[in-house]
Structure formats: structure tokens, C-alpha cells
Amino acid sequence: MTMSAADSRHFRMHLNLGPQHPSTHGVLHLALEMYGENVLDIDPVLGYGHRMHEKMAERRPWQAFFANTPRIDYACSLPHSHCYALLLERALQIEPPARAVSLRIIASELNRVASHLLWVGAFLLDLGAFTPILYCFDDREQAVDILEHMTGSRLTHAWMCAGGVTDDIDEETVLKIRAFIRRMRARFRIYERLVTNNVIFIMRTRGIGVITPALARSCGATGPVLRASGMACDIRKVAPYGGYDHYAFDVPLGSNGDCLDRYRVRMEEMRQSLAIIEQALDRLPGGPVRAKVPRTLAPPAGEYSSSVEGARGDITYWAISDGSEIPYRLKIRSACFGNLSLIAELCQGMLLADLIATLGSLDLVIPEIDR
């Protein structure tokens, strides 16, 4: 493609990719300037799924926002609840019981595995392979079943609360989780044969959408997207929260920052999550799952924040309390907005098919951006 030809307005085509398009995973709208199959310019348009979560927080008691947290990122909802619970505990100086801390980690990691499985399937679907998503959903279904048993809901688990979790788990759930870990370890071999070593898959992902560490940093990318570029930034390691410092696990890193690396990093993260769950189950303490908390929560006036590592990256909640039982302000920082802002820089001059692959590899959950 010669730029002089591309510059000529005559050959340019405006293409609205989304908000209704199979590969934008929700209601993302990309306004593209195309030259044939090449993308010249890309402008993400947001706001189709905005639900005013932050405003809602300012209108209801502190603990009532636990109903909102899972709905921000429905694919990986527990880390959001975890983050908010940590914030409240920090503000009210409550110490959750040891069993609750372990249960939170088990549930969060299960949720991470479920979310990554969903991503693998959807990413392969973006690349045009229809079969893997059904395998992934089969596995994800097991994780979701366990989470349903633990938390009472399949998608929006409102289970964590200030001072612990609402419900304990029974021996049957422990056995189910162990069975799930065994099953997943066997299933990784299937994924390896079906996807990882597939020549077309490698052709489509190697060297595509390369994110340099500098670019990732300037756009505020976090999570697997950042780690695939080779930067070891995992909040569970760099600023351990909720007892993660007691667990042995690796932070998988990529080297090239391309789509293939992002795939590898997420696959390895699932293995690490399973290892964390196993360790947590091995030394699951007994006792209560919820600390005594006052009936109405009213953190003393001041600013509070907490950060956790979600499946998509850094989740930060930042709150201002004026001492009343309703937050003065709650700001949520979620990973996908930073990750999405990479796309405009990344995809100039890219082929349409590569744009879809790169977009898929970022693991965007659009309602999490819009909130």
C-alpha cells in the first residue's frame, strides 16, 4: 500500500465495525477508515452500555454496592467484589477470618480460570475456529457450576461482603474443585493439540499486534496484555493483597507482546491459578467465614483505595467517605479501558482480519469499560 494512494480521499471507505458485530464482544463501536482491507484509522466509540455504576454508589449505603460489583465485569466478577471488600475492610479496619481469606482466593482464581476459558474460546472464534469455544464452554461450565454451588449464582456472584464471605463451602464443594483441577490439567493437553500447535493459529497470531512495553505503559495497559509484553506486573505479586503472599505461584511473561504471547500467558495463568487453588484447598483453615461487622457501615471520613488483579488486569477502587453511611464518591478503575486504548495506536495500517485478532487478544469486556 502506498501512502499517496491511501491519502487520496477517493479510495477511502468509512466502516462502522459494531456496535452490533460478531467480533466486538458486546457493544463496542469502532469507526474505521479503510483503504481496501487495510485499516488506516481507528476510533473506538464507547458508551453504548453505560449503567452509571459510580453514580449508583453515591446513592446507596456502602454495603449495598456489593450488588453492583459483579455486574461491572460479568465475565470475572469476583475480583471486583474482592476489591471492594478489601476497600471497606481497610476503611473500617475489619480483619476477615482466615477461612474467608482462603475462600476468597479459591473463588477468585476459579473465576479467573472461567474468564480465561471464555476468552480462549472467544478469541479462537474471532480467528474463525468454531470448535474450541464449545470445548472451553464445557470446561467453563464446570467452574461456573462450582461457583454456583459456592456463591449461589452463576455469573454475578454477590458473595463477598465486608468482613468475609456470606456462605461457607462444604466438603462436597472441595471435592468438586479438586475434580475440576484434575479435569482441567487433562484438558490442557486437548487445547495444546487443538489450538496451540495448530499451524494456522500460529500463522494468524505470531507477530500480530505487537505491543511494546513502552506503548503498553503509555496507554496504561495492565494484566495479561502487559505481561505478554514482558513486564512482570501482577498485583498479586508486586502488592500482595488478601493473603496472596502466602502462595507460591509464577507470573508467566511473554517476550514479543504479540497475540500468540497473550494466548500463551493466559493459558499459563490458568495453570498457575489451579496451583493456587490447590494450595489453598490443602491448607484451608476452619472457623467462621465472616467477621463481626456493624449493621450499618460508616467508614470514617477520608480517602481509601484498594487494588486487585482481575482476569483482565488491574482493578482499583478508590473511595471518598464523608463519614456517612453513603459513599461520597467511588471511582472504579478497570483494566479494559487502558487495554482498549492500545488499539488505536496498534492497528494503523493493519489488515481487517488482524484488527479482529488483536481486538480479540485484548480480552475486552465492553460493559466493564462503559460501567
Partner 1 sequence: MDIDMLRVFWSVVLIAAFVFANATVMGYLERKLAGRFQRRLGPMEVGWHGILQMPIDGIKLLAKRMIVPQQAEGLIFRLAPVISLSPVMLPLIVIPFSPVLQVVDMPAGLIFVLAIEAFGTIAVFLAGWSANNKYAMIGAMRSVAQNIAYEIPILLVALAVALMAGSFNLQDIVLAQAALWFIVLQPFGFVIYLISGLSECNRAPFDLPEAESELTAGYLTEYSGIGFSLFMIAEYTHMFIICCLATVLFLGGWQGPELPWHDYSSAIWFLMKAYGLMFVMVWVRWTFPRVRYDQLMKFAWKYLIPFALVNLLITALVVYL
Binding site for partner 1 (CB under 8 A): 13, 15, 21-23, 36-37, 124-131, 134-135, 138, 194, 198, 200-201, 203-204, 351-354, 356
Least separation in angstroms between residue 315's CB and partner 1 is 28
Least separation in angstroms between residue 138's CB and partner 1 is 7
Least separation in angstroms between residue 134's CB and partner 1 is 4
Least separation in angstroms between residue 22's CB and partner 1 is 6
> Judged by CB, which is closer to partner 1: 258, or 354?
354
> Judged by CB, which is closer to partner 1: 80, or 204?
204
> Judged by CB, which is closer to partner 1: 13, or 52?
13
* Number of neighbouring beta carbons within 10 Å of residue 53: 19
Least separation in angstroms between residue 128's CB and partner 1 is 3
> Judged by CB, which is closer to partner 1: 3, or 203?
203
> Judged by CB, which is closer to partner 1: 46, or 351?
351
Nearest-CA neighbor of 195 among 122, 146, 93, 278?
A: 122
Task: Give alpha helix (H) positions in 33-74.
Answer: 53-57, 69-72
Least separation in angstroms between residue 346's CB and partner 1 is 16
Please give the Cα distance from 27 to 22 (Å, whole number): 10
Report the relative pairing of strands 12-17 and 29-35 from DSSP bridges.
antiparallel
Least separation in angstroms between residue 126's CB and partner 1 is 5
> Judged by CB, which is closer to partner 1: 155, or 203?
203
Question: How large is the C-alpha radius of gyration of the chain?
Answer: 21
One-character DSSP codes across 95-152: ---HHHHHHHHHHHHHHHHHHHHHHHHHHHHHTT--HHHHHHHHHHHHHHHHHHHHHS
Which grid coordinates are listed for 121? 474460546
> Judged by CB, which is closer to partner 1: 92, or 118?
118
Backbone dihedral region for residue 207 (phi beyond 0: left; psi -120 to 50: alpha; all else: beta): left
Looking at this protein, which amino acid is placed at residue 94? Answer: I
Render the burial of 14-38: b for 16+ CB within 10 Å, e for the rest. eeebbbeeebbbbbbbbebbbbeeb
Please give the Cα distance from 192 to 344 (Å, whole number): 31
Sequence-separated (6 or more) residues with CB below 8 Å from residue 285? 98, 99, 102
Q: Which residues pair with 320 in a beta bridge?
A: 303, 329
Least separation in angstroms between residue 204's CB and partner 1 is 6
| Residues 290 and 163: beta-carbon distance below 8 Å | yes
> Judged by CB, which is closer to partner 1: 338, or 360?
360
Which grid coordinates are listed for 331? 471511582
Least separation in angstroms between residue 20's CB and partner 1 is 9
> Judged by CB, which is closer to partner 1: 42, or 335?
42
